[in-house]
Amino acid sequence: MTNLALWVPDLTELDRLAIAFAVRRKGKLTRFDSLDAAASPSEILFLCRGFVIVALFEAIRSYGPSARETLRKLSQPPTIRTEDNVAPRKEDYC
């Protein structure tokens, strides 16, 4: 199964919170005291994508539109970042 490593750069903080909420309901990431700590990119990076999709689907009723939007993002192929399509850095404008 695929993990979330390729999708993490495209996820917003709200997406990561939806993922943390959903997977905590399924028993993962429960060692953290807060949802914010569980939602850090380094913690969700290696979660199984299939597990997260199922957890989000089950959490839609409780977490609503943000879970639905995150589920939509994870259902699409990841954005592959190359030198040609990476956003310019701040230093490039100075």
Q: Which residue has the higher pLDDT, 85 or 31?
A: 31
Q: What is the pLDDT of residue 2?
A: 86
In the chain, the percentage of residues whose pLDDT exceeds 70 is: 84
Identify the band that residue 94 occupies on the pLDDT scale cut at 50, 70 and 90.
very low
Mention every residue, 6+ apart, whose C-beta is less than 8 A from residue 51.
1, 23, 26, 28
What would the pLDDT profile of 61-81 be if each residue is shown by its tens digit?
888 888 899 999 999 988 876
d(CA 1, CA 15): 21
